[in-house]
């Protein structure tokens, strides 16, 4: 019945599912990076995806992918079990992104039946190993939690500022400090409270009890103090992330839950195409039946009524099949998050991307051809359009550049707008460049503004002085044009 043997369909399933998993992973990690902290549920989710990838790739006997996923899983296992460890969110994001990049590349290799890239896997495993070791070492250099209540010498005055001074000293060897009262620096009335009930500090450090004791013995104006070591799971778990970050993490948690509420199954596109063809055939065949010459001259009341009913059903089916191929453009828009992140990091520009009308539905075939030009346009926006932070501030713009992707339906067309709040196109620069590269087709004086602007769609056109990682080869806008037309 099926023209595929079971081994191949298993492979298809593996590739399909793993691609989805890496996409999901990328989405999760980029969202998390924005918050600067991995929420427990984000860690669990990432851990789960790693675990799935590991399981299915080892089933398919791709041991290099499996062992890489295993390493990545180790890292998140460690983060999950040691909630208090402090980590570098953007470094982990980099690691995970290179992980998904690698897996996607390997999936293509598998599809094209090419040699797997064992070396790449080993290098990545080493990177994961290194960072995990680093985290473990930091974690193992034991941290102690201290509580100290300090009473200052009677009549020493400005107790709140003395308290501030002490915090200042402690901050040299502790990164986590909380104290009561907490606003000693701003609020001079806290001096009284400290005089009456002392100054209480909780802090964390690798210093031993002896060292800490000596430190306070040498601090002037302390009359008396009470130093205690708290056990590891003492009072301090709450200050791991500041409350702001925590709130954000909770919000994203809620968001992901909402997303999961959609129940969607994936269908092979060829099946959909077949269905569409069949419906098309049904439309033709219906009219062949209804308009059949054999029926000519016959009085067929009941037949006509039923035929009309059939017609209605078929039209409805046709509409439905068309919409089944429609996918919201958001998935394509979301691919730009990655490029925005990578480029803004490399070029040192702060860039924000905004979506408008991301629920607009577009035919699957069109979507597939949209993503390359869209990514290219976004790349152009960041590299050419948006100015550096200094330039933006000098021009009275907000330091963060904004790129807007907008989609909307108008009649039978879908409009997609890529917009940035950068410096725009420079006609002089375009003309100069075009002349240099001999791209002018008519005398300069006859060129209208539109002609000049259209030059950017010529193959080989670039205003960039030097080729960079992102642009400058003049391959770009012509490709965008080709893809779209």
Task: By CB under 8 A, tell whether 7 contacts other proteins.
Answer: no
Closest-CA residue to 124 (of 100, 90, 89, 107): 100
Told to check if 189 binds other proteins by CB under 8 A, we report: no
- The residue within the footprint of other proteins, chosen from 86, 165, 252, 463 (CB under 8 A), is 165
With contact defined as beta carbons under 8 Å apart, do 343 and 353 qualify?
no
CB nearer to other proteins: pick between 14 and 164: 164
Piece of 32-40, 157-165, 174-182, 247-255 that binds other proteins (CB under 8 A): 157-165
Shortest distance in whole angstroms from residue 194 CB to other proteins? 13
State which residue, 13 or 156, has the beta carbon closest to other proteins: 156
Is 168 one of the binding residues for other proteins (CB under 8 A)?
Answer: yes
- The separation between CA 24 and the C-alpha centre of its own chain, rounded to angstroms, equals 9
CB 71 within 8 A of CB 275: no
Contact region with other proteins (CB under 8 A), list: 215-223, 226-234, 238-246, 446-454: 215-223
Per CB under 8 A, the list member of 34, 114, 126, 157 interacting with other proteins is 157
Reduce the DSSP state of residue 402 to 3 states and report it. strand
The count of C-alpha atoms lying within 13 angstroms of the C-alpha of 108, restricted to the half-sphere facing its C-beta, is 5
Whole-number Å distance between alpha carbons of 141 and 365: 56
* Listed residue (72, 74, 84) closest to 28, CA to CA: 72
Do the beta carbons of residue 59 and residue 367 sit within 8 Å? no
What's the min distance (Å) between Cβ of 150 and other proteins?
Answer: 14
Q: Are 53 and 103 in contact (CB under 8 A)?
A: yes
Q: Per-residue x/- marks for other proteins, 135-154, CB under 8 A?
A: ------------------x-
CB of 154 to other proteins, least distance (A): 9
Residue 181 interacting with other proteins (CB under 8 A): no
The residue from 164, 225, 333, 461 that contacts other proteins (CB under 8 A) is 164
Residue 34 or 217 with smaller CB distance to other proteins: 217
Distance of closest approach, residue 157 Cβ to other proteins, in angstroms = 4
In the bound state with other proteins, the residue whose beta carbon lies nearer, of 151 and 457, is: 151
Least separation, in Å, of the C-beta of 160 and other proteins? 8
Interface pick for other proteins out of 11, 30, 158, 330 (rule CB under 8 A): 158
Query: For residue 355, what are the CA distances in angstroms to 35, 348, 373, 405?
Result: 19, 22, 17, 5
Q: How many residues bind other proteins (CB under 8 A)?
A: 17
- Determine whether 286 is exposed, middle or buried from the number of CB atoms within 10 Å of its CB (0-12, 13-18, 19+): middle
Which run of H or of E encompasses 258?
helix 243-260
Q: Which of 15, 85, 89, 161 binds other proteins (CB under 8 A)?
A: 161
- Asked if residue 53 lies in contact with residue 18, where contact means CB atoms within 8 angstroms, the answer is yes
Q: What are phi and psi of 25, to 5 degrees?
A: -60, -45
Is the CB of 137 or the CB of 218 nearer to other proteins? 218
Q: Which stretch binds other proteins (CB under 8 A): 2-10, 62-70, 94-102, 156-164?
A: 156-164
352 forms beta bridges with 402
Q: Which helix (H) or strand (E) holds 177?
A: strand 176-180
Residue from 9, 134, 175, 185 touching other proteins (CB under 8 A): that is 185
For the bound state, the minimum distance from the C-beta of residue 179 to other proteins, rounded and expressed in Å, comes to: 15
Within 10 angstroms of residue 68's Cβ, the number of other Cβ atoms is 26
CB neighbours of 194 closer than 8 A, spacing ≥ 6? 152, 159, 160, 163, 181, 184
User: Taking the complex as a whole, how short is the minimal distance between the CB of residue 217 and other proteins, in angstroms?
Assistant: 8
Among 77, 78, 173, 221, binds other proteins (CB under 8 A): 221
- Of 65 and 191, nearer to other proteins (C-beta) is 191
Is 57 within 8 Å of 39 (Cβ atoms)?
no
**8 Å CB contact between 128 and 54:** no
Q: Closest CB to other proteins among 222 and 480?
A: 222
Which one of the spans 160-168, 246-254, 280-288, 324-332 is the region binding other proteins (CB under 8 A)?
160-168
Binding flag, residue 211, other proteins (CB under 8 A): no
The yes or no reply on residue 219 touching other proteins (CB under 8 A) is yes
3-state SS class at 255: helix
Contact between 155 and other proteins by CB under 8 A: the answer reads yes
Q: Which span (159-167, 329-337, 397-405, 472-480) binds other proteins, by CB under 8 A? A: 159-167
Kindly tell me which residue out of 12, 88, 111, 188 binds other proteins, with binding defined by CB under 8 A: 188
Q: Distance between CA atoms of 7 and 40, rounded to whole angstroms?
A: 38
Contact between 111 and 12 under an 8 Å Cβ cutoff? The reply is no
Parallel, antiparallel or unpaired: strands 176-180 and 326-328: unpaired
- Chain residues binding other proteins by CB under 8 A are 153, 155-158, 160-162, 164-165, 168, 185, 188, 218-221
């Amino acid at each position: 019945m099926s023209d595929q043997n079971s081994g191949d369909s298993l492979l298809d399933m593996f590739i399909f599912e793993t691609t989805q998993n890496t996409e999901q992973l990328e989405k999760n990690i980029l969202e998390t990076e924005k918050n600067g902290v991995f929420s427990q549920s984000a860690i669990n989710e990432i851990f789960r995806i790693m675990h799935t990838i590991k399981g299915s790739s080892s089933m398919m006997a791709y041991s290099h992918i499996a062992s890489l996923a295993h390493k990545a899983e180790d890292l998140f296992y460690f983060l999950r079990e040691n909630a208090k460890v402090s980590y570098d969110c953007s470094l982990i994001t980099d690691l995970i992104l290179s992980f998904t990049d690698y897996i996607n590349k390997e999936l293509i290799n598998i599809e094209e039946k090419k040699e797997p890239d064992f070396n790449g896997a080993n290098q990545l495993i080493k990177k994961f190993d290194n960072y995990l070791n680093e985290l473990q070492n930091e974690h193992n250099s034991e941290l102690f939690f201290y509580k100290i209540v300090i009473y200052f010498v009677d009549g020493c005055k400005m107790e709140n500022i003395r308290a501030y001074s002490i915090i200042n000293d402690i901050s040299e060897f502790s990164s986590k400090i909380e104290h009561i009262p907490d606003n000693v620096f701003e609020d001079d009335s806290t001096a009284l409270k400290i005089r009456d009930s002392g100054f209480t500090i909780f802090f964390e450090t690798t210093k031993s009890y002896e060292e800490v004791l000596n430190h306070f013995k040498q601090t002037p104006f302390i009359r008396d103090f009470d130093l205690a070591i708290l056990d590891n799971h003492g009072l301090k778990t709450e200050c791991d992330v500041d409350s702001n970050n925590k709130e954000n993490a909770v919000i994203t948690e809620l968001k992901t839950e909402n997303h999961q509420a959609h129940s969607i199954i994936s269908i092979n596109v060829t099946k959909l195409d077949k269905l569409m063809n069949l419906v098309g055939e049904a439309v033709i065949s219906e009219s062949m039946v209804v308009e059949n010459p054999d029926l000519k001259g016959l009085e067929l009341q009941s037949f006509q009524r039923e035929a009309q009913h059939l017609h209605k059903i078929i039209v409805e089916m046709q509409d439905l099949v068309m919409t089944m191929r429609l996918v919201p453009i958001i998935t394509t828009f979301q691919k730009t998050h990655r490029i925005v992140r990578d480029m803004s990091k490399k070029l040192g520009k702060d860039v924000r991307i905004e979506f408008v009308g991301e629920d607009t539905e577009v035919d699957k075939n069109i979507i597939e051809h949209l993503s390359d030009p869209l990514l290219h346009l976004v790349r152009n926006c960041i590299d050419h359009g948006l100015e550096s932070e200094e330039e933006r501030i000098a021009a009275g713009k907000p330091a963060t550049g904004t790129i807007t992707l907008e989609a909307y339906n108008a009649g039978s067309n879908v409009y997609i707008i890529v917009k940035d709040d950068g410096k725009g196109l420079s006609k002089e620069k375009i003309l100069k460049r075009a002349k240099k590269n001999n791209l002018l087709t008519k005398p300069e004086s006859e060129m209208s503004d539109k002609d000049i602007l259209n030059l950017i769609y010529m193959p080989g056109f670039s205003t960039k002085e030097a080729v960079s990682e992102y642009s400058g080869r003049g391959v770009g806008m012509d490709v965008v044009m080709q893809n779209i037309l």
